[in-house]
Amino acid sequence: MVERQHTREHEQREQTPEQLRDNENNVERLRKNAERNAERSKENKAEKLEQSRQDVERVAEKQEKIAVESAPERAETRPDVATRSERKQAYDAHMDQARSHMKPAGKTFSKVIHNRAVETASDITGKTVARPNAILAGSFTAFVMVLGVFLVARHYGYPLSGSESIIAFAAGWVLGVLFDYLRVMITGRHQ
């Protein structure tokens, strides 16, 4: 191995002037090729970068046009607020999904009680006549008053007519409504 290195060094030292010129020309030619390739790669990178930038801009413009064309016309609404039709679609989808788990009788009952007219009447009743505090007060008053009337009537031997519980509930209901009204007047907050 040492002999091979020595022979190579010896051959390189004994090159003729023509070989030296050829070597110099080869080195110069390789240097020029390397410079040209470097310039081309810079130009190619710049061209590719510009081409990519133009492609991205074209795709973005197309996507923007598609988004504008496919978006529903809304008159200055916030995107996080659902429209009436969107709420109705969501409600219908939810009800259909819930009814898919019910038996046929349950499905029919659900359709009746979730009918728009029935729900509206129920909401109005719940906000006026069937207030929770009024019902609670009526029930509690009816229990206490009927218990008191029953004990007094039993002690003195009076017969009961049966209207005592209805009258006691009505009186308690009125007290509950008055309580709700005064609470809203004082605090200013609805439940």
Alpha carbon 147 to chain centroid distance?
Answer: 54
- Tell which wins on pLDDT, 65 or 14: 65
Contact 107, 99 (CB under 8 A): yes
- Given pLDDT bands bounded at 50, 70 and 90, which one contains residue 117? very high
> What dihedral do alpha carbons 76, 82, 83, 88 form, nearest 10°?
170
Q: Give me the residue label for tokens 């029919």.
A: 108
Burial of 150 (0-12, 13-18, 19+ CB in 10 A): middle
**DSSP 8-state code for residue 191:** -
Burial of 74 (0-12, 13-18, 19+ CB in 10 A): exposed
Residue 139 confidence (pLDDT):
93
- Phi and psi for 160 in degrees, rounded to 5? -95, 140
What's the average model confidence in pLDDT over 25-39? 70
**H helices within the chain, ranges in order?**
2-13, 17-70, 84-99, 104-113, 116-127, 132-156, 164-187
Contact 145, 110 (CB under 8 A): no
Residue 191 confidence (pLDDT):
60
- Given pLDDT bands bounded at 50, 70 and 90, which one contains residue 70? low
Query: Any idea where the domains of the chain sit in the sequence?
Result: 2-70, 82-114, 128-191
The pLDDT of residue 89 is above 70: yes
